[in-house]
Chain A
């Protein structure tokens, strides 16, 4: 297994574990009505971690390809990152206009 494969596996596993734990805890707390004040930030964290996991995976790929001097794939993965940033910008633009 290459170093990139190992670190991608680790990022994905950690992302799934953390987000699932936050979502499960948040869901139970929110539905039971026990601690709604903790439930909301837990759910938000869970969803954010979930969305950031693939982005983090792309970021470490870019870093690894740069380290290896593989400029072609460093550029390709950097473009993907820029596209994800463009999505965030698009959401902001929509919220301003509509």
Chain B
């Protein structure tokens, strides 16, 4: 268990700002950067790093979603349906994390970081799907007003089993490794299930709070959330994501995405090296 010194708390606060800022800019949570930082630079066990990271996921989800309610960008019904599976996946992940060896968790993180890097690279240029405005959204679909185009975007949810499978996997990885899991769900919902990117991202951000909670309860009950360090991380990530949102998701974020994808490849390699020792 790491000692909660003022120095360590300050470092984690700054790391939280960087991770939260990058997360907001790239449209992912900060966990994918925070967990390897704590594990590789400070030798935190993955479970302790994941526990701290999950608290930041909850905070980000709650604060981002609070500001978005009423704008219909979050598809609440669809989100609440998928939460049934993300929470189940998360519960399973939280239990599994307690049983797996440190090196196994590191290898799993390495694999996940590599997959996230690939997803980021292949989605550098987002597709703009033209949707039929006269479509009937049905029970699970939705509609929202898009400020840029001044139109109402209406969509139907397609291939529900695919969305459910991706959500289970995302929930599982979330608690196992301490990341939000949006990076797994959002591309799937967008590419295969007919959900526009912004709605998919907002709905995922809404869900990850509950998803992370299912895992965080286990870590909390096991005494793996170090209060001072979690506080520093949560506040840092809040500041960082607030700043990142102000700067906004610009087109020039493309080089940033490419750089971060490269960084994740390095993280992945380091995790495997560490696991092999």
Closest to A85 in B: B217
Contact assessment for A87 and B80 in the assembled complex, using a CB-CB cutoff below 8 Å: no
Q: When each residue 214-232 of chain B gets 1 if its CB lies under 8 Å from chain A and 0 otherwise, what string results?
A: 1111111110010110111
Residue numbers in B under 8 Å from A83 (CB-CB): 84, 87-88, 91, 214
Residue numbers in A under 8 Å from B87 (CB-CB): 80, 83-84
Is the Cβ of A73 less than 8 Å from the Cβ of B66?
no
| CB contact list, B196-211 vs A, under 8 A | 209-210
- Do A12 and B235 form a contact, CB below 8 Å, given A54-B213, A87-B94, A90-B94? no
Interface size on A, residues (CB 8 A): 47
B65 in contact (CB, < 8 A) = yes
Interface digits, B37-65 against A, CB 8 Å rule (1 contact, 0 not)?
00000000000000000010011011101
A4 touches B70 (CB 8 A): no
- A76–B84 CB distance below 8 A: yes
Within 8 A of B (CB), among A38-82: 40, 43-44, 46-47, 50-51, 53-55, 57-58, 61, 73, 76-77, 79-80
Bound CA–CA A12/B59 (angstroms): 9
For the complex, what is the distance from the CA of A19 to the CA of B213, rounded to whole Å? Answer: 14
Query: Quick check: B218 and A87 within 8 Å, CB to CB?
Result: yes
- How does the 8 Å CB contact mask read for B232-263 relative to A, with 1 for contact and 0 for none? 10110010000000000000000000000000
Say which residue of B6, B9, B59, B88 sits within 8 Å of A50 (CB atoms). Answer: B59
- Residues of A within 8 Å of B84, CB to CB, are 76, 79-80, 83
Taking CB atoms, residues of chain B closer than 8 Å to A19 are 59, 234
Cα distance, A31 to B8, chains bound together (Å): 11
Residues in chain A near residue B222, CB distance under 8 A: 91, 94-95
Within the complex, what minimum Cβ distance (angstroms) separates B235 from chain A? 6
On chain A, the residues within 8 Å of B234 by CB distance are 19-20, 23, 46, 50
A–B pairs, 28, beta carbons within 8 Å: A5-B70, A8-B69, A9-B66, A9-B70, A19-B234, A20-B238, A23-B230, A24-B235, A26-B228, A27-B231, A27-B232, A30-B4, A31-B228, A43-B228, A47-B227, A50-B59, A51-B216, A53-B62, A54-B58, A54-B210, A61-B80, A73-B80, A76-B80, A76-B83, A76-B84, A80-B84, A90-B221, A92-B221
Residues of B within 8 A of A (CB): 4, 6, 9, 55, 58-59, 61-63, 65-66, 69-70, 76-77, 80-81, 83-84, 87-88, 90-91, 94-95, 98, 209-210, 212-222, 225, 227-228, 230-232, 234-235, 238
Residues of chain A touching chain B, judged by Cβ–Cβ distance below 8 Å, are 1, 4-6, 8-9, 12-13, 15-16, 19-20, 23-24, 26-27, 30-31, 40, 43-44, 46-47, 50-51, 53-55, 57-58, 61, 73, 76-77, 79-80, 83-84, 86-88, 90-92, 94-95, 98
